[in-house]
A and B are shown apart, each in its own frame.
Chain A
């Protein structure tokens, strides 16, 4: 039985679209805009084609359209609007209504200056790309159309797949039979794609009509982007006692399909024919002289060698893999190759092919033994790399966690089948029968997977081997020169009523100095979203936005920038006013790059006493939130009263520390206040300091420096306590001031703060003592 599948025969009319001449970009906003979400396709591109051009041209490949996506989504994230007139356009203006509703506060509002119902924060946008993957012609088409609709950082993007047939009118249509991600991004159930032009005299475009599913029909326009479906980097290293075989002359062995094109296949072109563009990097020789007599390889040794020798090694998902051509595995000659990288978090990045194995010995009587060996080595390399793309053996498709229900393909003429496992035929061994009609390809289902499955299932270092997981997906797939960390230097458990301050750290992860703005972590390029378990995520809108004069800061390799951020409340009220689990998401907008921190999990404990419950409405008021965020207030008397009450009634709780700090800070120095006269005019007054009260309050707040450091964080407590020490010195007690600063240095040292910070604090303590 011959396992023929559509597209196995070379299509003489199909030519891969790899042109060189450039044509002007087609910038037609001929797309259906999206209401509410400010999404607008802003580009439809044509791709150059060679001139003189072929009469007929392959049109399969990836088509794209650009989208503008709100940087911080409103919640709940609305589905893409449908039903707009195809020719209507949406202006590129921010939504004046503001992205977030005011939360329904469960407590009465105190009398404070009324905020406008919605504050028009300028919305920031980033650009995303929607893909339409058309797989209907060329070599081995799977008659599939698929797409990727970008979501947001907290809305998982959607991958959808439709198996299509050609209609009488020349379009390709079919039901959307697979979805992965947020289905509401494309609720329609049918797709019809028309490719333009019919003749290759203009740039390629695709028009997709989505209909059905009870949703309004929408039409989208895409421009041709590329003919390949994936692009992967391969790096080949060869041990000094082995030989790399990366090519095969398909005409060199007489046992082959009659119509098999004669060509010298390389690993690159072999995958290229399958729609996977391969680039190469950094081939090198692994010197085996130090191994002595132990030249066999274990999986662990290969994994270690990968990390040392592979120029692109990273414990991250990436479209790159490493191939080692070695002599023999420790299990012996029966193992011709292996995808050894099934350990750790980033798997499927390394493969090995063993030259001194069964592949090196042609069967007795084979008419072309050298070609047989070459063919087996080539087949093994393609096979192992196929595993790195997360392809299982042909007879194992139904095992494990398939991305879709799969059936075994025991007779498949695929790189992923063992030649000797197919059925024999009269006068032919299984292997002879396999190669008699093997066309050096993968099966249709395997091509469907490699070309159209959700990226994380296919990408190396992403989904675990043999396993088919919006914020984490984006974070894990973003390769950045920086690492952003959101952290607390303490237990993640916060007392009820305890204000929450986190620390941000931006680290240069490269080997070269990197320049950033010195105060980037305090700017509006930093965004925080907090999600309480069971509730929608909420973007933090700080009480104040600061615009700093740009100042470059050079971060040397491994050096970091730090900042603290108060997250308990924002302009819309308390954020963490209920017991429960919270997750803090931090991301930094570096123009062309988003740097995302690993989510920070925190927990707010239940009230410990009845008194905490009683004063909670006052503590969680907007006024108190503002007061604590700014470090104190001379005018928000209700807030000061609430804080004083909290300090008196709950002296042993962390809220008392914050309350006393806020009250003492403003009392320590005189400050300007605006008073409104009856006439409506504003009068500027200077409020006097109350140093005695300040020292009492601050002394109580910072009496236990370890507690203060834990609740304020290291950055804030350092600044606060040094200010306190300054106040003590100004009151005339330099010795005490120096002692306070010295104790701070000891506390920071004991808590593992950077030695440079501790040293600086001690130096200041000495100055204060003078």
Chain B
């Protein structure tokens, strides 16, 4: 069992965001906004099986991204809104903010 961390980082401004892990809603926020001094809007942590199907949705913007990942290899997912689209990156390095 891996702990998955999904970090909603740059570009969010009072957005409605839905994060689903293996079909279950892990996070839903209606006022997700990036704090510019950290570059982080919200961090979602959830226990997940090694095989993870991740969905990130912004229903009000009509944006959605799905991906499959191995939570034991890349347990960190960084999500940003860039030029009006979702940019998603997976990594084995824990992101940090300051």
Contact = CB atoms under 8 A, between A and B. Distances in A.
A429 B93 contact: yes
Interface stretch (B19-27, B35-43, B52-60, B62-70): B35-43
B84 interface: no
B98 A338 contact: yes
A418 B39 contact: yes
Interface stretch (A12-20, A391-399, A453-461): A391-399
A562 interface: no
Contacts of B40: 335
B94 interface: yes
Contact of A465 (B37, B95, B97, B98): B37
A357 interface: yes
Nearest to A336: B98
Interface stretch (A380-388, A654-662, A737-745, A753-761): A380-388
A335 B94 contact: no
A337 interface: yes
Interface string B81-98: 000000000000111111
A549 B36 CA distance: 58
A334 B36 contact: no
Nearest to B45: A332
Nearest to B11: A399
A342 interface: yes
A399 B36 contact: yes
A169 interface: no
A358 B96 CA distance: 7
B75 to A, nearest CB: 13
Interface residues of B, number: 14
B98 A400 contact: no
A359 B39 CA distance: 17
A71 B95 CA distance: 56
Interface string B28-51: 000000011111100100000000
Contacts of B38: 335, 338
A428 to B, nearest CB: 13
A646 interface: no
Interface in A330-357: 331-332, 334-339, 342, 357
Contacts of B36: 392-393, 396, 399-400, 465-466
Contacts of A393: 36, 39
A387 B94 CA distance: 23
* Chain A interface size, under 10 / 10 to 19 / 20 to 34 / 35 or more: 20 to 34
B10 A336 contact: no
Contacts of A358: 94, 96
A418 B38 CA distance: 10
Contacts of A392: 36
B95 A334 contact: yes
Contact of A342 (B37, B43, B94, B95): B37
A543 interface: no
Interface string A162-194: 000000000000000000000000000000000
Contacts of A384: 98
Nearest to B96: A358
A399 B37 CA distance: 12
Contact of A338 (B10, B37, B93, B95): B37
A335 B40 CA distance: 10
A391 B1 CA distance: 40
A53 interface: no
Contacts of A403: none
A420 interface: yes
Among B10, B40, B43, B97, residue most surrounded by chain A Cβ atoms (within 10 Å): B97
Contacts of A337: 98
B37 A380 contact: no
Nearest to A396: B36
Interface in A409-453: 418, 420, 429
Contacts of A395: 10, 39
A354 to B, nearest CB: 9
A339 B37 contact: yes
Contacts of B43: 331-332, 334
Nearest to B42: A331
A420 B93 contact: yes
B49 to A, nearest CB: 23
B2 to A, nearest CB: 17
29 contacts: A334-B95, A334-B96, A335-B96, A335-B97, A335-B98, A336-B96, A336-B97, A336-B98, A338-B37, A338-B98, A339-B37, A357-B96, A358-B94, A359-B96, A380-B98, A384-B98, A387-B37, A392-B36, A393-B36, A393-B39, A395-B10, A399-B10, A400-B36, A418-B97, A418-B98, A420-B93, A465-B36, A465-B37, A466-B36
Interface of A: 331-332, 334-339, 342, 357-359, 380, 383-384, 387, 392-393, 395-396, 399-400, 418, 420, 429, 465-466
Which 10 residue pairs of A and B lie closest in terms of their CB atoms, listed nearest first?
A358-B96, A336-B98, A337-B98, A339-B37, A387-B37, A466-B36, A380-B98, A334-B96, A335-B97, A383-B98
Given A357-B96, A359-B96, A418-B98, 19 more contacts: A332-B43, A334-B94, A334-B95, A337-B98, A338-B38, A338-B98, A342-B37, A358-B96, A380-B98, A383-B98, A384-B98, A387-B37, A393-B39, A396-B36, A399-B10, A418-B97, A420-B93, A465-B36, A466-B37
